[in-house]
């Protein structure tokens, strides 16, 4: 059986690439198709195979700012030649799921979200913060991309969503049902520190929809120490917003991030996220989460008052005042969060658990398809 993996782009290690790592382990001989590849940005298990890129790879500045070529994404992904492949596994948050699949081949899409740029988060990317030319040009382009995105979903045999929140988004965008398999956290990367430090932590891409500004402003007003790990287009604005107790650390490697988790008071998670791996990473290090109480966080964070041991607190609105309220409620009783209980909860999402679940799912789908 010839297997093709399709992933949007390879420019760094985020949650999607950690899922792709597992897919590469399951299919070590599979070819990998991607719009763009920055060599050295992902581990050898991903790069040590045949990697086929699109024409975007050769365009000026694509490695630094590939999103500006968004109108070209459909043409790029549809030009991949997958003739001769029996099984296609796409991992998609943009256009990977829209690849042309040969007749008779099985296509399973592990979907992080429908293309967020033109669906739920259009205003965050192309609203008032965008330039006037972008704001003028994007409405018809986005409308065309939505129509194309919906049409191309018909080429997927089975959708697997990363959360029930995303499964509902797939239903609304594509009119398709999706199974749910939550993505993995690599619990072994983290350790519990018995005496945490004095700082709150944010680990996030610095993009507008992540709303890191809420955490920065809350720390400013309360005079609390906050460390922010991440890079992105919001970095300069956040630097200007940060007061004397807030420090932006930029990017950090896995070992440094694990150490920061272990010593933080709690993770601040102000984004409306599709699922959110960083809350589980904090829990794997025995640290609680103060999260916006909508979206995928409701599937990973356990609030007080239920049968399970609590792993964090929710705040109701994406406002500075609500983040401050969450921090104050946490500080009133930090002892309610038991580090070993938090880690046990994270272990239910551990990497080996994910690998077994996705492998069993794919085996069942392939068996139901019959011999290729």
Per-residue CA distances from 289 to 32, 251, 268, 315 (Å) = 35, 21, 6, 11
pTM of the prediction? 0.89
Identify the CA nearest to 334 among candidates 255, 281, 266.
Answer: 266
- CA proximity to 123, closest of 212, 209, 232: 209
What would the pLDDT profile of 326-368 be if each residue is shown by its tens digit?
A: 999 999 999 999 999 999 999 999 999 999 999 999 999 998 7
Phi, then psi, of 334 in degrees rounded to 5: -65, -20
Per 3-state DSSP, the chain is made up of helix, strand and coil in percentages (nearest 5) of: 45, 15, 40
Report pLDDT digits (tens) over 198-225. 999 999 989 888 999 999 999 999 999 9
Selection from 323, 209, 206 nearest residue 273 by Cα: 209
| Domain 3-184+351-369 annotated CATH 2.40.50.100 | no
Residue ranges of the alpha helices (H) in 302-350?
A: 320-332, 339-347
Domain boundaries, the chain: 3-184+351-369, 187-347
Write the pLDDT tens digit of every residue in 11-27.
988 889 999 999 999 99
Q: Do 187-347 and 3-184+351-369 have the same topology in CATH?
A: yes
The predicted-structure confidence for 104-152, as pLDDT tens digits, reads as follows 999 999 999 998 766 565 556 655 666 656 666 667 777 888 888 899 9
Stretch 300-305: mean pLDDT: 94
Q: Which of these CATH numbers, 3.40.50.2000, 3.90.76.10, 3.40.50.970, 3.40.50.300, describes 187-347?
A: 3.40.50.2000
What is the rounded CA–CA span in Å between residue 113 and residue 332?
36
Which tokens is 214 given?
């809420």
CA distances from 112 to 72, 171, 200, 307, 331 (A): 21, 13, 27, 29, 33
């Amino acid at each position: 059986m010839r297997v093709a993996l399709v992933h949007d782009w390879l420019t760094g290690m985020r949650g999607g690439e950690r899922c792709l790592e597992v897919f590469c382990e399951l299919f070590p001989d599979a070819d990998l198709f991607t719009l763009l590849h920055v060599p050295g940005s992902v581990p050898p298990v991903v790069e040590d195979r045949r990697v086929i890129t699109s024409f975007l790879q050769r365009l000026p500045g694509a490695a630094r700012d590939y999103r500006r070529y968004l109108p070209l994404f459909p043409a790029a992904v549809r030009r991949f030649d997958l003739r001769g492949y029996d099984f296609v596994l796409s991992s998609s948050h943009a256009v990977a799921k829209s690849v042309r699949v040969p007749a008779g081949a099985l296509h399973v899409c592990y979907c992080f979200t429908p293309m967020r740029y033109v669906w739920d988060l259009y205003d965050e990317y192309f609203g008032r913060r965008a330039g006037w030319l972008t704001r003028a040009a994007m409405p018809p382009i986005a409308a065309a991309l939505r129509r194309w995105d919906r049409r191309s979903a018909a080429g997927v045999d089975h959708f697997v969503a990363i959360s029930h929140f995303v499964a509902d988004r797939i239903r609304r965008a594509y009119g398709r049902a999706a199974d749910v398999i939550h993505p993995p956290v690599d619990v072994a990367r983290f350790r519990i520190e018995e005496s945490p430090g004095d700082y709150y932590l944010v680990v996030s891409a610095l993009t507008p929809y992540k709303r890191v500004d809420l955490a920065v402003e809350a720390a400013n007003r309360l005079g609390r120490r906050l460390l922010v790990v991440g890079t992105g287009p919001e970095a300069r604005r956040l630097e200007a917003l940060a007061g004397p107790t807030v420090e932006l650390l930029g990017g950090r490697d896995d070992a440094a991030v694990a150490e920061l988790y272990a010593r933080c008071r709690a993770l601040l998670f102000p984004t409306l996220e599709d699922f959110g791996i960083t809350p589980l990473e904090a829990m794997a290090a025995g640290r609680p989460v103060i999260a916006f109480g909508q979206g995928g966080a409701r599937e990973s964070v356990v609030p007080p008052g239920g049968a399970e041991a609590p792993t964090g607190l929710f705040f109701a609105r994406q406002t500075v005042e609500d983040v401050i309220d969450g921090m104050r409620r946490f500080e009133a009783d930090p002892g309610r969060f038991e580090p070993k209980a938090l880690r046990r909860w994270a272990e239910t999402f551990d990497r080996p658990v994910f690998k077994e679940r996705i492998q069993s799912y794919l085996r069942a789908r392939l068996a139901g398809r019959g011999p290729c």
